[in-house]
Amino acid sequence: MFPNPEEIYSYYHSEAFKLKNGFYPKNIIDFSKIKNNPNWIYFEKFSKMVENSCNLINWRLYIKSLISFYKGYFNPKILCSQSSIKIYKTEIQLLEQDSNIKNIEKRVDESIKNIIKYMKENNFSNLNQYLLENSELFPTLSKHLYSGFISKYFLVLIPNIISIINIFPIDVKNEYFEDFLKEYEINRNKILGSSRLRKISDHIESFFKKAVEKI
């Protein structure tokens, strides 16, 4: 499922309002006046852009990175601009460089939530189906890592992730996983510093199987 313009606007307004005022606004019930605003078309365009990306865009992180950069509300005209995409990509890089264990746990939790939802939407019953999807051509895993849909810290939770990456085409491996492989040992040691993440890593297959069955 992809976000509609109403969902995107609600998130944009809610997060920008919170940054400015320190608390969240009431939920928007009637969008009729908002839709009459000339800027509404940009939320429609962004919705289409997210849909066309096929989960290559973490749209909430995208919006939040712009709100953070512009310190609140911003002109919706820039939503689909190259400069906004650059801000979003920079935010992904900054998040992945954060070595604070609490922030790492948060990134992993977000990744797990995204993957469980994706698995459910695609009727996957186990984690390997997700990890190996399109592995012979352009693996879903590489697209999701590149887009910020999942974090590198989630990948290092997977005990056999190196073996999985080695299955991928060599050009994909070199382009999308070169840095990940270089930093693997360092990042693996980071996540093992969290007893909660270590427990997930030790039982990751059963963890996802149970999580998908619950939905």
Q: Report pLDDT digits (tens) over 182-204.
A: 989 988 988 888 899 999 899 88
Q: Under a CB-based contact definition with an 8 Å cutoff, are residues 138 and 131 in contact?
A: no
Query: At residue 91, does pLDDT exceed 60?
Result: yes
Question: Is 96 in a helix, a strand, or coil?
Answer: helix
d(CA 11, CA 38): 19
Domain extents in the chain: 5-93, 98-214
Question: Please, how many CA atoms are within 13 Å of residue 93, restricted to the half-sphere of its CB?
Answer: 7
Residue 110 · residue 17 · CB < 8 Å:
no
pTM exceeds 0.95 for this model: no
pLDDT, tens only, 40-89: 999 999 999 998 876 678 888 899 999 999 999 999 999 999 999 999 98
